[in-house]
Amino acid sequence: MKYDVIIIEKVEYELLKRIVSMAQYYKDSTYRASIEKLKNELDFAKIVSEKNMPEDVVRFNSKVEISTPFGVNRTYQIVTPDHSNIKENKISILAPMGLALFGYAQGDKVEWEFPTGKNAVNIIKVEQMAREMKMQK
């Protein structure tokens, strides 16, 4: 892990805590397990101001290129649940993949419980979208 802990921008941290608290009632056990793991990681996360936020960390609206052990490379944009659209490769922060990637950095290998079982993904590239689009609500 590049930065030893996940890094989250202050405003996004507050939004993420609200989203996660509302999602705790999901019935799907994989989603609940992902949300619980992220809640645990939030306890140790480094919370920083916008100006101190590293450019290579996955956050809201980041485009993230990943690779899997199965040789699959994909690029996703991490969005709030109301902007999720899998056809456009926009995945919700509450999807297991979104929860797994958030706060990690380019070059990190993330092990997570996905619907298909425990797997690892490598973060190949992180691209930040324009600042004015950062916090879609």
Q: How confident is the model at residue 77 (pLDDT cuts 50, 70, 90)?
A: very high
The reported pLDDT for the residue numbered 137 is 40
pLDDT one-digit tens code per residue, 49-61: 999 999 999 999 9
Instruction: Write the pLDDT tens digit of every residue in 7-37.
Output: 999 999 998 888 777 766 667 777 777 777 7
Question: How many domains is the chain partitioned into structurally?
Answer: 1
> Is residue 62 very low, low, confident or very high in pLDDT (cuts 50, 70, 90)?
very high
For residue 90, give its domain range: 7-131
Q: What pLDDT, on the 0 to 100 scale, is given for residue 23?
A: 66
**Domain assignment of residue 1, yes or no:** no
- Looking at residue 33, its pLDDT comes to 75
Structural domain contains residue 2: no
Q: Tell me if 98 sits within 8 A of 35, measured CB to CB.
A: no
Domain presence at residue 90: yes
User: Is 58 within a domain?
Assistant: yes
**pTM summary value:** 0.85
Model pLDDT, residue 21? 78
DSSP letter for each residue of 76-104: EEEE-GGG-BGGGTEEETTSHHHHHHTT-
What CATH number should be reported for the domain holding residue 44?
3.10.50.30
Q: Does residue 18 sit within a domain? A: yes
Sequence-separated (6 or more) residues with CB below 8 Å from residue 42: 6, 8, 13, 16, 17, 20
105 found inside a domain: yes
